[in-house]
Copies of this chain bind each other. A is one copy, B any other.
């Protein structure tokens, strides 16, 4: 039905007779002539209808926004002065000779150029929203990204293997989506939070190198830009160690960025230990575009009178850290108050600071409500250690270490964003040498499905997941000092976002049992939940490891989108519903009866939205 895409036309097509199909993006009548911007996947071109071709002109007069048209005409140069440099096709236009209205359109609920449409409305009419060039571009980038990832993996001997969606509860620790079984009344499938156990089984099956671009499911409250279903690039290999895996994976990502964005990422990616990342950046996914760093000052504060500092400085679980902001003296009182509120989100009870007006003047040149609590020596060393210069401001965090890290870690990124202190566009790194376990609580980690929080029953929880292998040289620490035991895990971080994470896995039954024990998973529970894995480990399990990339998040970074919803064709809302199809929806009692379930509380009937 077409000879070219609209968006492909340029001066090389001058005088060509072309047939185009697409949507009427805009119609303008000007000087007795009709201009229609015809749009397709590849872009737009201006089509001109003049009254000389009477019948065609009459048809053109009937055209409205989003009509589906077929146009036959001749490509010509636009008259001088009317070229449109903002359009790829802006040098040319098509003189329309024949025009067919293939399909009409009612007035669409919003125009494609309207940026003020609510997200709910955009999702309800997603098929119109997706016609926007920027949405098309993101969906296309997504297709290109998966293509490039696949080509790389295919050519490196990885097999694309499908694992079940209807399966058993998996160990990631988030809430499962459940599916009642009709043929096994009272029993349920779970949708996988990741194919973790299946990919390990595939290594035990001798597949050697596996990948899958796979849907994963988590029934979480959708804070923090999450979706009930998300996509990960899931990878597992046998007989490779973490060095080899990291090297291969960063080669893949470098190739991807080079090919699709023309961006050269570092070669190799820097590697940083978890400990260093926490000390310098207060985060295990540091944004290295931000040069600001945390500086430890516990030692200076142990003896000071100021309890807010000396308390955490003397607490083994506490931390006192400083963060220097260049030119921070420019901050207004209100800005400082706002930052104080900002760190409050992360549990910080205040945000002490010192303004460095003129360092050469000593105490006189400094300005701060807390200055009076600090002895000269502490102040001097502090100035030296932070490298503060005239006009700078030094913030302080003093609390439990995890609060200081989260608060100052977030503050350094926020300050950099607010004050234009980002350096470079793309800063990848590997974070390695994670602790195997942490005490008790929720670490707040868990951006990809390869992470979980272990069993809530245990005194220790996994920083990654219960199948993560400890470092060989730390095996003894499982007995003697689990908290000091490091894992063979690695996270790929890009611009402060964890885009991928993985580990070498435990491949020996006794180690796996030991780890379950430390996590407070009883033999019975282990048998019930992971019995098939424990059994499989007995029959010739090779050393293996892998990782998973969060595809949606990677796409969001690559496309500069503000949310993962912007890189998915049909996302759910923040309340896990779909305004387009009205899913989820009520079902008949007959259906429920077949599945051997009933509703606990009947639903009050609402008039369904039309």
Contact = CB atoms under 8 A, between A and B. Distances in A.
Given A184-B577, A610-B531, A165 B569 contact: no
A69 B248 CA distance: 24
A180 interface: yes
Given A239-B2, A542-B103, A572-B166, A603 B187 contact: yes
Interface stretch (A85-93, A143-151, A368-376): A143-151
A603 B167 contact: no
B143 A539 contact: no
A161 B180 contact: no
Interface in A426-448: none
Interface string A572-610: 100111101111111100011111111111110000101
B166 A177 contact: yes
Interface residues of A, number: 124
* Total identical chains: 2
A168 to B, nearest CB: 4
Contacts of A182: 175, 219
Contact of A601 (B140, B169, B175, B185): B185
Interface in A500-545: 507-508, 527-528, 531-532, 536, 538-543
Nearest to A23: B540
A102 interface: yes
Given A66-B539, A198-B570, 6 more contacts: A1-B241, A23-B206, A109-B539, A143-B159, A150-B150, A187-B585
Give me the 9 closest cross-chain CB pairs, A-B, nearest first: A186-B603, A130-B205, A105-B540, A66-B540, A187-B584, A181-B584, A168-B583, A168-B581, A143-B159
22 contacts: A1-B241, A22-B206, A23-B540, A66-B539, A103-B540, A103-B543, A105-B539, A127-B205, A128-B539, A146-B160, A164-B578, A168-B581, A168-B585, A177-B179, A177-B189, A178-B591, A180-B180, A183-B575, A202-B569, A532-B580, A597-B597, A597-B600
Interface of A: 1-2, 21-23, 39-41, 66-68, 102-106, 108-109, 125-128, 130-131, 136, 139-140, 142-143, 146-147, 150, 154, 159-169, 175-191, 197-198, 201-202, 204-208, 215, 217, 219, 221, 228-229, 231, 239-241, 507-508, 527-528, 531-532, 536, 538-543, 568-570, 572, 575-578, 580-587, 591-603, 608, 610
